[in-house]
Amino acid sequence: MADAEIGVIGGSGFYSFLDDVTEITVDTPYGSPSDSLFLGEVAGRQVAFLPRHGRGHHLPPHRINYRANLWALRSVGVRQVLGPCAVGGLRPEYGPGTLLVPDQVVDRTKTRAQTYFDGVPLADGSIPRVFHLPFADPYCPAARTAALAAARGREWDAVDGGTLVVIEGPRFSSRAESRWHAAQGWSVVGMTGHPEAALARELGLCYASLTLVTDLDAGAETGEGVSHHDVLEVFGKNVGRLREVLFDAVGALPATDARTCGCAEVHDGWKLGIELP
């Protein structure tokens, strides 16, 4: 199996232009990931790219196999993950083009498998023990620092911290839902940032999300509300800039064996009935 040390979960726009990319297929105990992994070199680091929605964007947020995605990345050596995603702004000052690196997450999803420790027998007949994940601070501080420094190095005045609320999708929020999210003091709303962070933590992976605001969510604006077309248009205008920030962040992440954040030590060597890849 080919090796990588850093994972990026996002669309093909982040790797399709690289000169030398190796495509590999990975099977996991949790089924197939969203797509193949695409391995290439960025800033002298070996990176595995995974299209979150699959090539062609055929997987809606609630049907993404998040467990398989994170497992597949770890199985090729990944220990640090960056997860860019498109979001709606919940405050007027977080308009289209804003880059926010959250430090908190709120889960409002309904149907997603959120843990590897669900008591379901694995293929070999073993049953994982129950494990309650410490999750007070969902994101890796070192990965967040790298992402913020990369954005500011590219003269993108990224917002340091804020709360990402993740909804089930694939529909956008109603105006009443959006206003309620904003009233809670949350910053941005998306559909894919959870359970990525929690699963990464269970696997001992560092994880940070980079949220690109593509619209003001329905309750934070006047007019007809957000549309899919508008989201794609704004994301397309900013994907090149976001790619530069991601690649700079990749280069700024610490070496795997030099991590001091504690993400890899959430529990003692996975002595809970599941063998890590």
Catalytic residues: 215, 217
53 is in an annotated binding site: yes
12 is in an annotated binding site: yes
Name the residue with tokens 């109603």.
174
Name the residue with tokens 């050596």.
77
Residue 252 is inside which H or E element, if any? helix 228-252
173 is in an annotated binding site: no
Are 207 and 76 in contact by the 8 Å Cβ rule? The answer is no
Give the helix ranges, DSSP H, for 51-161. Answer: 66-75, 141-153
Nearest one of 125, 124, 92, 108 to 221, comparing CA atoms: 92
160 is in an annotated binding site: no
The dihedral formed by the CA atoms of 159, 184, 177 and 193, expressed in degrees to the nearest 10: 50
Q: How many CB atoms lie within 10 A of CB 86?
A: 22
Going by the annotation, the residues of the binding site are: 12, 52-53, 191-192, 215-217
Going by the annotation, the residues of the binding site for phosphate are: 12, 52-53, 192
Going by the annotation, the residues of the binding site for substrate are: 191, 215-217
